[in-house]
């Protein structure tokens, strides 16, 4: 009799757990799209503060050759205000022993699904880069970093900036000489 009661109790507990799952930060949430209309090539906004401090006139060796291949370029995406607030709350809960999220660490994929851009936003940015002939090398698991490569001419056309060659203590590097200009949709 007791064994039947325990099985019945475990069955009811399982039904309740399945019917009313607890909301933990590790669950996948729906991230609303921030890019909600087609990208307009004419609607661009300057992204201030994106010229290397090392790109000084004294080190400038002139405009880079249009055929120079550049790699390891990155677009770093920001979170929405709502996502940042949720992340801040989750970080507090990770350290709060009374929280259901205490020490419930996330994998990079879980983190990206909760606090990174929507799938459709990633797809739109990848398509936009590829439409300019650039190669998308990877999207980080955290989803806030898109690595790409391409020729100087493609990067200049895509980002509306000039790329110059610089040399400091015998080391050559390339940098944009003005802040890039992105579609306003990417900066929302």
How far is 45 from 69, CA to CA, in rounded Å?
26
Contact 16, 155 (CB under 8 A): no
Look at residue 186 in the predicted model and tell me its pLDDT.
59
Question: What are the φ and ψ backbone dihedral angles of 31, each rounded to 5 degrees?
Answer: -100, 125
pLDDT at 151 over 50: yes
Query: What average pLDDT does range 56-82 have in this prediction?
Result: 94
How far is 172 from 169, CA to CA, in rounded Å?
9
Q: Residues 151-174, buried b or exposed e (16+ Cβ, 10 A)?
A: bbebbbebbebebbbbeeeeeeeb
Look at residue 171 in the predicted model and tell me its pLDDT.
95
Does the CA dihedral 58-49-187-115 come out positive or negative? positive
pLDDT at 88 over 50: yes
The DSSP element (H or E) to which 7 belongs, if any, is: helix 2-19
Return the minimum-mean-pLDDT range out of 3-7, 129-133, 134-138.
Answer: 3-7
| Residue 158: strand, helix, or coil | helix
| Residue 110: strand, helix, or coil | helix
Please list, in sequence order, all residues whose beta carbon lies within 8 angstroms of the beta carbon of residue 119, skipping any fewer than 6 positions away: none
Average pLDDT over the chain reads: 83
Q: Which domains does the chain have, with CATH numbers?
A: 47-77+118-188 (3.30.70), 79-116 (no CATH)
Question: What are the φ and ψ backbone dihedral angles of 45, each rounded to 5 degrees?
Answer: -130, 140
């Amino acid at each position: 009799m007791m064994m039947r009661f325990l099985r019945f109790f475990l069955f009811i507990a399982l039904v309740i757990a399945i019917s009313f799952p607890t909301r933990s930060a590790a669950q996948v949430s729906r991230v609303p799209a921030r890019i909600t209309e087609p990208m307009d090539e004419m609607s661009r906004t300057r992204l201030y503060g994106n010229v290397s401090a090392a790109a000084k006139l004294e080190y400038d060796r002139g405009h880079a050759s249009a055929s120079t291949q550049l790699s390891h370029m990155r677009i770093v995406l920001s979170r929405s205000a709502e996502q940042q607030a949720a992340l801040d709350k989750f970080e507090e809960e990770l350290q709060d022993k009374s929280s259901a999220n205490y020490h419930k660490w996330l994998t990079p994929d879980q983190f990206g699904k909760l606090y990174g851009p929507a799938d459709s936003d990633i797809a739109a940015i990848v398509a936009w880069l590829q439409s300019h002939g650039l190669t998308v090398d990877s999207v980080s698991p955290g989803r806030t970093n898109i690595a790409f490569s391409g020729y100087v001419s493609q990067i200049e056309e895509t980002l509306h900036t000039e790329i110059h060659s610089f040399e400091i203590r015998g080391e050559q590097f390339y940098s944009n000489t003005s802040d890039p200009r992105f579609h306003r949709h990417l900066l929302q």
